[in-house]
Structure formats: structure tokens, C-alpha cells
Amino acid sequence: YSRLSDGEYCHVLASRHSGKTSLMARTSNRLREDGVQIAILDLAQVGGRDDSTDVGRWYYSIAYRIVRELRIRSEMQEWWQERSGLSNLQRLREFFLEVVLVGTEGPVVIFIDRIEAATGEGFKRDIFGAIRACFDARATEPDFQRLSFAILGTATAKAALPGGRDSPI
């Protein structure tokens, strides 16, 4: 709670059924009481029956759910299509700047639960690149100081890369 209140990025990696989601719920409730805007995204629920064939739809689903969670009024579909020339990673970063940060005031924390759902397909792992890009943008875009992420899930360093190679996460 205190790290997210201070605008830091956080992660909770632990075994299944160890209380990660309960911790997220308690922390998000406390942050809301303090006036922080919260979006909770469960990656296991993003996408459709065969999301591996439509990368753009998977990323759009993430953006759509965040807009809905934050109750931002936006023409999301139109905004998303207008930026179809960008890579999904770039589009997601721009989404955080142009939609989330423009559509909110004060601090925003996005909880991303069940990150293990993003460790299989290469394009799904790019969400971590988008989060990193938002963090790095704090140096040049002051608005990004208002945006923090907390990622939660069951993952190991070996699971993060194809073939089970060790990876610094």
C-alpha cells in the first residue's frame, strides 16, 4: 500500500492460492479511500476464444477494460483505430498518456493480476514492455508520474522466456 501510495511500481509474485488477489483487493480499497483511481485487470479474462490469432484485439481488450474500470468517457474504438499504424506496444503506451492520464485527475494505479496468462505468447509478454515504457517516460513526460502499476501473479524467471531460459524479471 505505502509503495503504491508513493507512486512506485510494485509486483507480487507468489505461488497459487497464496493471497495475492486478496492483497490486491484490500490495497485497492485503501487506495480508493485515499482518492486514488484504480483499475483492476485480470489477464486471464482478456481476449476471446482464440486471442492468439488477433494480437490487436488482445491489446484493445486491455485498453477497453482499463477505460471501463476508470470510468473514462472515450471513443475508444475510434481512438484505437486511428492509431493502427503504431505497434501494439506503442499504441498501448500512447493509450496510457492520451486516454488514461488525460481522462483522469490525480494518481492512478493499475493492478494487473494473473500475469502468468501473458507468459506464453511473445506478443502477450509485450505488455511488460509497455509498462516499462510508461515507467521510463516519467523522466520526460511529467504526467506519467501519476501512473503506477502493480503486477501480480504466479511466474518464475524461467517461465518468462521461450524454452525455459533464465531471465531477469
> For position 27, what pLDDT does the model report?
95
Tell me how far CA of residue 72 lies from CA of 86, 105, 157, in angstroms.
Answer: 22, 11, 35
| Distance in angstroms (rounded) separating the CA atoms of residues 87 and 80 | 11
pLDDT value at residue 155: 64
The Cα 109–Cα 107 span in angstroms is 7
- What is the model's pTM? 0.84
Q: Look at the block and give the residue holding cell 488477489.
A: 21
- The residue-averaged pLDDT of 29-54 equals 80
Parallel, antiparallel or unpaired: strands 147-153 and 10-13: parallel
Specify the pLDDT at position 124. 66
Largest pairwise CA distance in the chain: 44
CA distance 120 to 71: 30
Cβ contacts of 119 within 8 Å, gap of 6 or more: 125, 155, 159, 160
Residue 48 has pLDDT above 90, yes or no: no
Cβ-based neighbour number of residue 105 at 10 Å: 10
pLDDT higher than threshold 50 for residue 51: no
Length of the chain: 169
The answer for residues whose C-beta is within 8 angstroms of residue 61's C-beta and 6 or more apart is 46, 47, 48, 51
